Structure 1
Amino acid sequence: MPTAVQIERRGSTAHLILDRPSVHNAFDAALIAELTEALDQVDADRSVRAVVVTGNGSTFSAGADLNWMRGMAAASETDNREDSLRLARLMRTLNFLSKPTIARVNGSAYGGGVGLVACCDVAVGIDSAKFSLSEAKLGLVPAVISPYVCAAIGVRQARRYFVGAEVFDAAEARRIGLLHDCVTADALDEAVERLLHMFGKCGPVAQDEAKRLALRAAGITCEGAEALDRENAALIARLRVSAEGQEGLTAFLDKRAPAWAGRE
């Protein structure tokens, strides 16, 4: 049976590979569930010292799957909230994983794909990758991923890219803090291996505590994130069933420009 996520063990490193290349590794319910389960699995495995998240093919992740978006447009507010909570749990699990995590950004990342990059401890991407928090173009907001993206790039940059939904390149992603480094495609694996070698020299308990220390110093806790996730899931669910959200999603699916009406 096809799976949306592959787990490859290479020594003490678990590589979690988004494996839907025909749709640019877009998110759907299956990918979200499988990636969450894979993260839980490697987190519980004491033989895993580090985790690499990447995509199969030329794209890291294009964000929401087209058919999944059709489901969003037709679903009730309650169903949309539950759907968003599942995505929120995925992001929260990755962000607070006890092992060092690396985003191996093998190509462009949009929407939730940017969220995955932001949730990893270190992110290295190829210099041809493009990024966008494109939700506002659909009459929506990047609600669930917002805490992690804001932590990565800061509120000032988040306000620009949340509101404008513009596409930016890898150099800009590095400048604003989404990527720690950008390299040529043929140098990506070497860059990841250098990081893994560095991680391997450190104590695993200390690494877990160091990560929690950094998050705690920034006021970020798993309990606080869970409470915020409930608020953000309610927000995105409300927007998805709103007139503007429905128009944005329908226009996107119909491949036409949306007719925005503004606030009534």
Structure 2
Amino acid sequence: MLVHLSAAAGVATITLDSPHNRNALSRQLTAELGDHLTAAGEDPEVRVVLLRSSGRVFCAGADLTEARNLTGDGPREIVRLQRRIAALPKPVVVELAGPVRAGGLGLVGAADIVIAAASVTFALTEVRLGLAPAAISVSLLSRLTPRAAADLFLSARTFDAAEAAAIGLITRCVPDDDLPAAVTETLTDLLKADPQGLAETKRLLTAEMLTRIDRDGEQAARRSAELFASPRAQQAMRDFLTRTKPAT
């Protein structure tokens, strides 16, 4: 299992636990995450969902080994995951204790509340591999101003949690030591609400994003898949994987 689900006191906790590839969005991880989101959404005892990670990295983005081998249908699965998070009738809170890269930002963009430790960094690195953040644009373009999106999509620069909060990507940046308490406080506040109130309020908040996903998701996924299969991206991914392959 690469993703774990536990539930207690009205909170379903979903933990990404694939340290060997830094929680990259492999076929197995995305399938398990989707199944756990569905289970949490259907559980009448669950009122709030917490998405977190084990290890040092929240999510490294697409699994480039699978993408390099053109295995599976990663872009469509990433679009589906974003829709599943946005459409879930329960708030999804993300706890970020480690870096987020590329496709992982789609999970952040689709979530309702995101709390990050100050040391967390972000980067949309797709352009450096001959790609574009097409599949995750369906959630991110609903969060970012056009200027912020242009800057981060095109430059691929690394930015910190304070900037992420300032531009609307995340909800709050807190000192690293305060992260557990901040998440607990947020969950406690959400649990005070009536489930119907939460569901209907979330419906209002995510309507625009869901409209964008339903309108643009298939085209974005198709374009992303075409780019992953392109000769330039294939060579760039080959070079990247060669550079980052552990010594034997």
Say whether the fold is shared (TM-score over 0.5): yes
Structure 2 contact 86–206 (Cα < 8 Å) conserved = no
- In structure 1, the partner of 2:224 is 236
- In structure 2, the partner of 1:61 is 59
Correspondence 1:169 to 2:164:
no
1:187–1:10 distance in 2 versus 1, CA, 3 Å: farther
- The counterpart of 1:111, out of the listed 102, 107, 112, is 102
Q: Distance in 2 between matches of 1:91 and 1:49?
A: 19
Residues 1-264 of structure 1: matches in 2 within 5 Å?
3-65=1-63, 69-75=64-70, 82-216=73-207, 219-221=208-210, 224-255=212-243
The one-letter code matched in structure 2 to 1:50 is: V
Q: Tell me by how many angstroms 1:102 deviates.
A: 0.6
The one-letter code matched in structure 2 to 1:249 is: M
Q: Distance in 1 between matches of 2:173 and 2:210?
A: 29
Q: How many residues align?
A: 244
Structure 2 contact 62–74 (Cα < 8 Å) conserved = no
Q: Distance in 1 between matches of 2:66 and 2:21?
A: 16
Q: Tell me by how many angstroms 1:190 deviates.
A: 0.8
Q: Tell me by how many angstroms 1:10 deviates.
A: 2.6
The Cα offsets for residues 141-180 of structure 1, whole Å up to 9 and x where unpaired, read as 1111112112122222111111111111111111111121
Structure 2 gap ranges (5+):
none
Q: Tell me by how many angstroms 1:186 deviates.
A: 2.0
Structure 2 contact 139–209 (Cα < 8 Å) conserved = no
Identity of matched residues, %: 32
Q: Which runs of 4+ in 1 moved over 4 A?
A: none
The one-letter code matched in structure 1 to 2:224 is: I
Structure 1 contact 133–165 (Cα < 8 Å) conserved = yes
Structure 1 contact 139–247 (Cα < 8 Å) conserved = no
Q: Tell me by how many angstroms 1:197 deviates.
A: 1.3
Query: TM-score, length-normalised on structure 1?
Result: 0.87
- Cα RMSD after superposing both structures: 1.7
Q: Tell me by how many angstroms 1:96 deviates.
A: 1.5
Q: Tell me by how many angstroms 1:253 deviates.
A: 1.9
Q: Distance in 2 between matches of 1:251 and 1:106?
A: 29
The one-letter code matched in structure 2 to 1:91 is: Q
Query: TM-score, length-normalised on structure 2?
Result: 0.92
Structure 1 contact 5–19 (Cα < 8 Å) conserved = yes
Structure 1 gap ranges (5+):
257-264
Structure 2 contact 26–74 (Cα < 8 Å) conserved = no
Q: Distance in 1 between matches of 2:210 and 2:118?
A: 32
